[in-house]
Amino acid sequence: MTTAQSYLEHSSPPGRRGWKAWLLTHDHKRLGLMYLWAILFWFVLAVLLGLLMRTELMGAGRTIMGAETYSSMFTLHGVIMIFFFGIPAIPAIFGNFFLPIQLGADDVFFPRLNLLSWYLFMFGGGFAIFSLFFGDGFPDTGWTFYVPFSISSAGNVSLTVTAAFILGMSSMLTGLNFVTTFHRLRHKGMGLMKIPLFTWSLYATAWVQILATPVIAITFVLVVLERLLAIGLFEPDRGGDPLLYQHLFWMYSHPAVYIIILPAMGVISEIIPVFSRKAIFGYKGIVYSSLAIAIAGSLVWAHHMYTSGMSDVSVFVFSLLTFLVAVPSAVKVFSWVSTMYRGSIAMSPPFFLSLCFIYLFTVGGLTGLVLGAAGTDIHVHDTHFVVAHFHFVMLGGTGFAFFAALHYWWPKMFGVLYRNRPAYVGAVAAAVGFVFHFVPMLILGMQGMPRRYYDYLPQYETGNFLAGFGAYLLVFGLLLMLLNLVLSLRGRRTAPANPWGGTTLEWTVPSPPPVENFTATPEIKDFPYDFSEIVANSKK
Amino acid sequence: MMASTSDTTGIRIGMWIFLYSEIILFGGLFVLYAVYLYEYSELFAQGGKELNRIIGSLNTVVLLASSCTVAASITAIQRGKKGQAMACLAVSIFCGLVFVVNKYFEWGAKIHHDIYPNSATLQDGEPGLNIFFGLYYVITGLHGLHVIIGMVLLTTSLVLVHRGRITASRYAVLENSGLYWHLVDLIWIFVFPLFYLVL
């Protein structure tokens, strides 16, 4: 196998050269890379916006920006992180790249539709940038676009909402593609219980994307229509009910956090067994818990609305359902920990980041129970506690899993190895910074500091200062890891086909993979996490 | 749809999933309808009486007929009868056009009577009526948009049949355009009674 056959050298369809080989490609791997660069751009941008916000909050009163700028900052940070990073990151980059390979297929089922999804993503991004510089100023509603403020706000809400609508279509079409690929292009010898867990998690996610995204689409259409035509469907003085907006919004946006976290759990389920040199504990349990999270997670949306004026019965039912979601999530955490038990641990950057994930995600999950219980939620609702909980799950969870995935699959995607030391330093800095950043926010929330305020009472100053300090350390760690990865592209150290000792199909093909993924018919194992061969080879 | 593969089952799965997402899209609006109908049942009844049942029924008949001809065009192409298939498609597109023109006159008459979003009549009148007509415009408007998209798809299929790109052995594009058209029809089958009949 020479690298000359790799997808980086040869285009699909064949014969395309220059920019056409990329911008008109049908190759799921090239599309994965194109998503990678676009999404990293948005991620770094939103990280820097977040850093500016925390800098503002480091001291009481006005520090570096005014209240209105601050409102726009947290809106943009939220919109970008949710719609441009969280939802697409793992499915669009790693899902596109590895789902077909893990299934033993040569591409996704609808390659041209896949290209269209990428264009929709870029188009939505262009729209979002456009909305910043044209119209009546930055949107300032928060990423939730709650009515009636989102209808009366002078900011350029319509364009931002439209951008999110377009991104939703992109995400839904990717989900559609994955489901069809999963059913129709899976290798004939691969039964349902032989599928790698990352692909299983993407499958569960894809269904949530398909089920839930149209609801946010129609909700955003209604917001735009209200702004343009003033129909009054959500305005009380015209007979509308703002609570209905919240229902529709969360009917998508709560499942959306499972769209964000499920693929991350899939990544961790891949990494933990490889570096424990031991079959994953409870394979079926993890598969079924992914599906259970997808189903149960779609039925808990109104736990965002305990204080919005729902009936007590609704509050009780949604609180109960919310607690049920904790069960399959805990099944996964216990499975990962049990996999490591008596394993032969080989420390590596992706494994270290996965350990951070388990720790931070567990804190996020447990604080979620505080919010899921109606009684305690009343106390901490709309405080910094919510912000901290959310970031423990989304950044501590999905963010760290995203970096774990980057470090795990980078050698396969680009055929180069990165340096371990900067990766470890970055990961430690990010994890320590993370704790410094968000633990004070949990406490501030308990003490009653509201979210989305640009100023606060003097007693909150120490906590906010510490959080700001943590933010700088966190951002330093994240950027160091990214820089280290990008610098590895100079290609000093080429990666072998299987640098980690992985057992899933992507590790049987060269790094980087050839255009059609497999040069010979892939051999499907009875169990995707059978390490007996890897362990036997390492003893020689 | 957009697959280079000859696996028609897979292509159909993709299309059905897409249609499913369209149903959820309208589902959000039907949720609003259900809640507001519960809240303002009397005013909804009052609003419903102002809609023209004759135009509504006519449009229902037109759409049902067009669904039938679309199905016929698929059978025709399967049997290799190109001319028949094109004729059936042309009739379907014409029916779609009749529907849109009817809708134009229906909306036009309402707007002429000062009933449209943010009009003085609705703003100063009962809130329930404002909601009823707000939903009426949003739902029939979104449905009308889907009719137009469906007509574009059918026209594309017609051109492809004419050029010999859709044949007895390869007709996935026509079949999927037909499925989309049936969806447009199906949604109308729910919209029609909700606004014109049950109230």
User: pLDDT digit of tens for each residue in chain B (199 aa)?
Assistant: 444 457 889 999 999 999 999 999 999 999 999 999 999 999 999 999 989 899 999 999 999 999 999 999 999 999 999 999 999 999 999 999 999 999 999 999 999 999 988 888 888 889 999 999 999 999 999 999 999 999 999 999 999 999 999 999 889 999 999 999 999 999 999 999 999 998 7
In angstroms, the CA A418 to CA A83 distance is 29
Q: What is the pLDDT of residue A404?
A: 98
- How do residues A453-511 score in pLDDT, each as one tens digit? 999 999 999 999 999 999 999 999 999 999 999 999 987 889 999 999 999 999 999 99
Strand partners, A494: A416
Q: What is the pLDDT of residue B5?
A: 54
Degrees (nearest 5) of the Cα angle B42, B46, B51?
140
Q: What is the pTM of this model?
A: 0.94
Amino acid, res. A62: R
**Which of the residues A12, A31, A103, A110 would you substitute to probe the B interface, choosing the one with the greatest number of B C-beta atoms within 10 Å?**
A110
For residue B59, the surrounding DSSP H or E stretch is helix B53-78
Q: What is the pLDDT of residue A17?
A: 82
Residues of B in contact with A184 (CB under 8 A): 7, 9-10, 13
3-state DSSP assignment of residue A154? coil
Is A24 touching B (CB cutoff 8 A)? no
Contact A403, A422 (CB under 8 A): no
Degrees (nearest 5) of the Cα angle A407, A411, A414?
115
- How do residues A204-233 score in pLDDT, each as one tens digit? 999 999 999 999 999 999 999 999 999 999
In angstroms, the CA A36 to CA A27 distance is 14
A26, A176, A244 member nearest B18 (Cβ): A176
Contact A195, A186 (CB under 8 A): yes
Contact A190, A104 (CB under 8 A): yes
Percentage of chain A exceeding pLDDT 90: 82
In angstroms, the CA A173 to CA A123 distance is 15
Amino acid, res. B158: L
To the nearest whole Å, the CA of B199 is away from the closest chain A CA by 19
Average pLDDT over residues A368-381: 92
Q: What is the pLDDT of residue A2?
A: 44
Q: What would the DSSP string read from start to end of A299-365? A: G-GGGG-TTS---HHHHHHHHHHHHHHHHHHHHHHHHHHHHHTT------HHHHHHHHHHHHHHHHH
Residues of B in contact with A185 (CB under 8 A): 10
Residues of B in contact with A182 (CB under 8 A): none
In angstroms, the CA A457 to CA A480 distance is 35
CA neighbor of A337 nearest in space, from A357, A321, A312? A357
Is A458 touching B (CB cutoff 8 A)? no
For the packed helices A349-372 and A312-340, what is the interaxial angle rounded to 10 degrees? 160
**Looking at the domain that runs over B22-197, which CATH code has it been given?**
1.20.120.80
Q: Is the pLDDT of residue A236 over 90?
A: no
A74 φ/ψ sector (left φ>0, alpha ψ -120 to 50, else beta): alpha
3-state DSSP assignment of residue A81? helix
A79 contact partners, CB below 8 Å, separation of at least 6:
A128, A139, A143, A160, A164
Backbone angles phi, psi at A15, to 5 degrees: 95, -10
Q: Kindly list the structural domains of chain A, giving each domain's residue range(s) and its CATH number in brackets, ordered by start.
A: 3-539 (1.20.210.10)
Q: What is the pLDDT of residue A6?
A: 87
- How do residues B127-147 score in pLDDT, each as one tens digit? 999 999 999 999 999 999 999
Q: What is the pLDDT of residue A163?
A: 93
Least confident piece of the model among A2-11, A19-28, A334-343, A377-386: A2-11
Chain B residue set in contact with A, beta carbons under 8 Å: 1-5, 7, 9-10, 13-14, 17-18, 20-22, 24-29, 31-32, 35-36, 39-40, 117-118, 123, 126-131, 134-135, 137-138, 142
Q: Do B118 and A176 touch (CB under 8 A)?
A: no
Is the backbone peptide bond immediately before A512 cis, with ω within 30 degrees of 0?
yes
In angstroms, the CA B154 to CA B150 distance is 6
Residues of B in contact with A210 (CB under 8 A): 17, 20-21
Q: Do A113 and B1 touch (CB under 8 A)?
A: yes
Average pLDDT over residues A432-449: 96
Is the backbone peptide bond immediately before A148 cis, with ω within 30 degrees of 0?
yes
In angstroms, the CA A137 to CA A154 distance is 7
Is A230 touching B (CB cutoff 8 A)? yes
Establish whether this prediction's ipTM goes over 0.85.
Answer: yes
B2, B20, B128 member nearest A210 (Cβ): B20
Q: Which residue pairs from A68-74 have beta carbons closer than 8 angstroms and sit at least 24 positions apart in sequence?
A: A68/A140, A69/A138, A70/A454, A71/A140, A71/A142, A71/A452, A71/A454, A72/A137, A72/A138, A72/A139, A72/A140, A72/A155, A73/A49, A74/A142, A74/A452
Other C-beta atoms closer than 10 Å to the C-beta of A534 total: 16
Q: Is the pLDDT of residue A20 over 90?
A: no
Amino acid, res. B130: N
pLDDT band at A3 (very low <50, low <70, confident <90, very high): very low
A215, A222, A239 member nearest B127 (Cβ): A239
Average pLDDT over residues A409-434: 96
Q: Do B5 and A112 touch (CB under 8 A)?
A: no
Q: Do A238 and B131 touch (CB under 8 A)?
A: yes
Between A309 and A472, the higher pLDDT residue: A472
Q: Do A111 and B22 touch (CB under 8 A)?
A: no
pLDDT band at A309 (very low <50, low <70, confident <90, very high): confident
Residue of B nearest to A226 (CA): B117
Average pLDDT over residues A253-280: 96
Average pLDDT over residues A527-539: 89
Other C-beta atoms closer than 10 Å to the C-beta of A65 total: 16
Average pLDDT over residues A41-66: 94
> What is the residue-averaged pLDDT of chain A?
93
Q: Which two tokens stand for residue A539?
A: 């003893």
Degrees (nearest 5) of the Cα angle A237, A243, A249?
125
3-state DSSP assignment of residue A211? helix
Q: What is the pLDDT of residue B144?
A: 96
Q: What is the pLDDT of residue A5?
A: 75
The size of the A-B interface in CB pairs under 8 A is 112
CB-facing half-sphere around the CA of B15: CA atoms within 13 A: 21
In angstroms, the CA B102 to CA B107 distance is 9
Alpha helices by DSSP H, listed for A92-233, are 96-102, 111-133, 149-152, 157-184, 197-229
| CA A130 to each of CA A118, A159, A436: distance values in angstroms, whole numbers, following the listed order | 18, 8, 35
Q: What is the pLDDT of residue A129?
A: 87
Q: Do B142 and A221 touch (CB under 8 A)?
A: yes
Q: What is the end-to-end Cα distance of chain A in Å, rounded? A: 24
Q: Which residues of B167-195 are buried (b: 16+ CB within 10 A; e: fewer)?
A: eeeebbbbbbbbbbbbbbbbbbeebbebb
Contact A68, A136 (CB under 8 A): no
A329 contact partners, CB below 8 Å, separation of at least 6:
A289, A293, A365
Residue of A nearest to B136 (CA): A231
Q: Is the pLDDT of residue A136 over 90?
A: no
